[in-house]
Structure 1
Amino acid sequence: MIAKPPEERIGGVEAFDQIVLYGSRGHSQMIWQVLQGIWQGRAQLRAVIDDLENGFDHPALGVPVISGGERLLRFADVPVLLSMGDGALRARIAARLAAEGAVLASALHRRPESIAPDAQIGAGCILNPATLISPNVTLGAGVQVLAAAIGHDVTIGAYSTLAYGAVVNGHVEMGRQVSIGAGAIINNGRPGRPLRIGDGAVIGAGAVVMRDVAAGARMVGNPAMTTRDWARMQALVRRAR
């Protein structure tokens, strides 16, 4: 068996009374707004981490903005929630946090009408309360699902991101750090022959994926095609006018 990298072996918790948020920009603030509906005031935000700009109080969240190094000094035992939208960035920071002995916070409602009881959910996942997780679903570490629907028999690799309104139908295998845009649809695979999306692929907003997607591919349109093929098609259309 191939050993998982550190960012996928990091520990996680779902119950806590205080938290540090990694990320201070717009996406992180949106995530924090979502979390208020999940935690209902049960978790206190202690600080926000920003490695580029820090040393002041966050104007919207009202807590100190600190560096990752300061976290070790002040909040080493407080769970960390990775709130950035970039999955590759989340993975890199998680690897560093794992080396520091940190624990990732997860944010999700485990309501049976929303999340199947047999769903396997990795450390540090964030699931919007409007998310639907069907039976026999596995989410790797650090996955963000923002009000998306995931069908049965689906595997989603670590540090992937599903934007608002995305739909992943049944029998799909998704690699690590995949990004699914708002309103995108991933069509059904079949038992024994799942539809596969490779590591690091990007599926654009509103795209409809009907077949396997290669690792690192950038897909747009309905039916989804690579951005290169899309540009070629647009050029043909312009010449035909």
Structure 2
Amino acid sequence: MEPGLRRLYIFGAGGSGREIAWLAGQVLGDAVPIAFIVDDLAYVTAPVNGISVQLVSDVAVQEGDRFVVAVGDAGLRRKASVACIGVGLQPATLVHPRVEMSRFVSLGTGSVLCAGSILTTNIALGEHVHVNVDCTISHDVRIGDFSTLSPGVHVSGHVHIGKDVLIGTGANIINGSATSPLVIEDGAKIAAGACVTSSVAPGALMAGVPAVRKR
């Protein structure tokens, strides 16, 4: 538990929000209350899984109130983060108790690591990175701000993943080397089930086994 955490606000009350609320409950137990927040009145609903939903603009922020963003799209996650910080909330980092990782892993604020994931050694995650259930990240990997690993992604050693990258469910990223890491540039998208064997250009869409550029 992060020291001084009074209340956790989860931006987004959809499927990802409900999953992260479960994760937060596993981490925090009953010690810290949880609430959903949204930025549009159309999304304010009755409580979801027993958790209240309110507008981010209506939050009366107190010391120790923090947030995580439960939105898959990197651009929307950035926008939501700005909205939360704008009302005075600070980002929290959530790591499920069934995550395994060495002490040689650094996590950026706002990042979320879900159950069953394994991170080995000399790994650096940026801010607001999402690592979904049952992912593996091997040695000497860097992942940039607001990037997402969907469920069951496997990242081999010496891989550098840029900002705003989306890697789809079950994709595999083959290793680079110490002198020539495999690089997935900013804004790239890797389709579900793809096997990436070489570096990926900015904004490219890759799919297939081995993965080839589709856009």
Q: TM-score, normalised by structure 1?
A: 0.81
Contact (CA 8 Å) 2:97, 2:115: kept in 1 or not? no
Which 5+ residue runs of structure 1 have no aligned equivalent? 1-12, 229-241
Q: Pick the aligned partner of 1:174 from 153, 161, 166.
A: 161
The residue number in structure 1 matching 2:80 is 93
Tell me the distance in 2 between the aligned counterparts of 1:96 and 1:44: 21
Aligned to 1:160: 147
Contact 1:160 1:178 (C-alpha < 8 Å) held by counterparts: yes
Of residues 40, 58, 62 in structure 1, which corresponds to 2:50?
Answer: 62
**Higher helix proportion:** 1
2:186 to 184, 199, 214: 199
Matching residue within 137, 142, 152 for 1:150: 137
1:50 Cα deviation from its structure 2 partner: 1.6
Task: State which of 10, 14, 28 in structure 1 corresponds to 2:2.
Answer: 14
1:26 aligns with 2:11: no
CA 56–184 in structure 1, closer or farther in 2 if over 3 Å, else same: closer
- Give the number of equivalent residue pairs: 211
2:125 aligned residue: 139
> Could you say if the C-alpha distance between residues 141 and 97 of structure 1 is closer, same or farther in structure 2, counting changes exceeding 3 Å?
same
Contact 1:109–1:115 under 8 Å retained in 2: no
Shift of 1:166: 0.3
Could you state the TM-score of these two structures normalised by the residue count of structure 2? Answer: 0.90
Q: Is the 8 A contact 1:22 1:84 kept in 2?
A: yes
Unaligned ranges ≥5, structure 2: none
Task: Indicate the residue corresponding to 1:107 in structure 2.
Answer: 94
Q: Distance in 1 between matches of 2:44 and 2:112?
A: 27
- For the 8 Å contact 1:38–1:129, the answer to whether it is kept is no
Shift in Å at residue 102 of structure 1? 2.1
Structure 2 counterpart of 1:68, one-letter code: V
State the 1:100 CA deviation: 3.9
CA distance in 2, matches of 1:199, 1:101: 29
Using the alignment, how far apart are the partners of 1:142 and 1:225 within structure 2?
A: 28
Distance in 2 separating the partners of 1:104 and 1:163: 21
Structure 1 residues 137-165: Cα deviation after superposition (integer angstroms, max 9, x where no partner)? 00000001012100000000001110111
Deviation at residue 17 of structure 1 after TM alignment: 4.2
The alpha-carbon deviation at position 225 of structure 1 amounts to 0.9
2: distance between equivalents of 1:129 and 1:40? Answer: 15
Q: What is the distance in 1 between the residues matched to 2:96 and 2:17?
A: 19
